[in-house]
Amino acid sequence: MHRDPPQNFQIPEPSVDVDGILRSLEQRHVVDTVSGTIRYDISEFDCNKPSEDSHAEMTNVGPTGAWSFFSVFDGHNGQGTSTYLRDNLHNSLLSNLTNHDPASGEAFDNVIKDTFKSLDERIVNGLLGEVFKSKSRANAVRALGPAMAGSAALLTMYDAETRLLRVALAGDVRAVLGRRTSTSTDHTSSSESKYKVHLLSKDQNGLNPAEKSRIEALHPNEPDLIQGKRVAGIAVSRSFGDGLWKWPLDVQGRLHKEYLGREPFGCVKTPPYLIAEPEVTTAQIRRGDFMIIATDGLWDALSNEEAVGLVGAWLDDMNKKEHPIERNALPVGPGEEDKTENYGGWHAKKLFMNIDENAATHLIRNALGGADRDLTEALMSIGTPRSRYYMDDITVTVVFFGDFE
């Protein structure tokens, strides 16, 4: 029997608690000044359910309690690798660095690099032998979870005694430093810049010329290996885990046939393609500097200058007000051409606002619509997995460096 559809269908009333969602995972930590940091804020937005991102912090550690570690991990193909790094990277690094002097330069950096590489070796190959000794597929799936998934990682280490910040990157998590350049209070024009952007890392993917050259030299007979930012189909050129881009094909074939492993990708011909060795850079910190570390979900929506300008505006105007803020009103220079994609994909103009007490939440809000609350509600109303076409998980840590007296 045919029935006509009901005529009283109505658009549901909004049921998204924007502020509740944005603030549900935020953290604020006030730190002992021995660490050289006075405060750090953290916030997260879960596009995937659950989020594939993770983060870790450790302050007042090292031989004199002057070291701090802040890391953000951008997982993919699940959260197995990012959570493993959250639980293990800092402790492994601290153990390896304890007898080394941060002023030793390259030798100290090499300890960081070796720690990354050895931890990835443990993730990817550490349990393969045990798996192949067993017939249990259940044990194999559990043991190889962090190897089947993957994660980009950015670790920062700050030594308050030398005021030296080290940044170690494997992947496309990004860190930027904001530095006050003037004391002007006139924010009506970008010419009155108050904060300068110092890029602390460079995304490692197929669009990075140095990474592209490195990979092509290792795989000269695969001309189609790199397509845009993707390397053999994956959007990073360095990562933890990602065994499907690192294991020999015979290992992948056996895992596929005997242990529910995935069939090797057609574009994977001469692995390994990815490495976990980080690039390590350094920066000298000044009083009043702040650092933003975030997964690419933030940088898909905000430029480096916008992120620094937003934190600068947050610092300069602690009296939060619900009014739109234009890009050219942010206390930062224009910077390079805005190449972010999300707002264009949403067909929306960037309008910002400054209403949050947490600096990391402030950034996430402005990466998800800012002053356009209807847009923010719309994005938060899109369920998984469709939400991934519009945005990504976002994890942000903002660190404020203090006095050196």
**Cα–Cα distance measured from residue 195 to residue 305, given in angstroms and rounded to the nearest whole number:** 9
Asked if pLDDT for residue 126 goes beyond 50, the answer is yes
Q: What H or E segment, with its residue span, contains residue 88? A: helix 80-97
- The ranges assigned to domains in the chain are 18-401
Asked if pLDDT for residue 3 goes beyond 80, the answer is no
Query: Of 204, 177, 174, which Cα lies nearest the Cα of 72?
Result: 174
> Using an 8 Å Cβ cutoff, are 231 and 265 in contact?
no
Runs of H (alpha helix) within 336-394? 342-345, 359-367, 373-381
**pLDDT band of 213, cuts 50, 70, 90:** very high
* pTM for the structure as a whole: 0.93
At 247 the three-state DSSP class reads: coil
List pLDDT tens digits, range 90-108: 999 999 998 888 878 899 9
Percent of the chain with pLDDT over 90: 84
Tokens of 370: 């800012």
**Cα–Cα distance measured from residue 393 to residue 384, given in angstroms and rounded to the nearest whole number:** 11
Domain 18-401 has CATH 3.20.20.80: no
Burial class (CB in 10 A: 0-12, 13-18, 19+), 279: middle
Cβ atoms within 10 A of the Cβ of 323, count?
9
Asked if pLDDT for residue 50 goes beyond 80, the answer is yes
Average pLDDT (185-189) is 47
List pLDDT tens digits, range 318-363: 667 788 999 999 999 888 889 999 999 999 999 999 999 999 999 9
Asked if pLDDT for residue 167 goes beyond 70, the answer is yes
CA separation, residue 150 to residues 40, 43, 67, 233, 331 (Å)? 27, 22, 28, 14, 37
Most confident of 9-13, 16-20, 316-320, 322-326: 16-20
- Which residues have C-beta within 8 Å of that of residue 21, sequence separation ≥ 6? 45, 380
**Cα–Cα distance measured from residue 190 to residue 77, given in angstroms and rounded to the nearest whole number:** 41
What's the pLDDT score for residue 102? 83
Mean pLDDT of the chain: 93
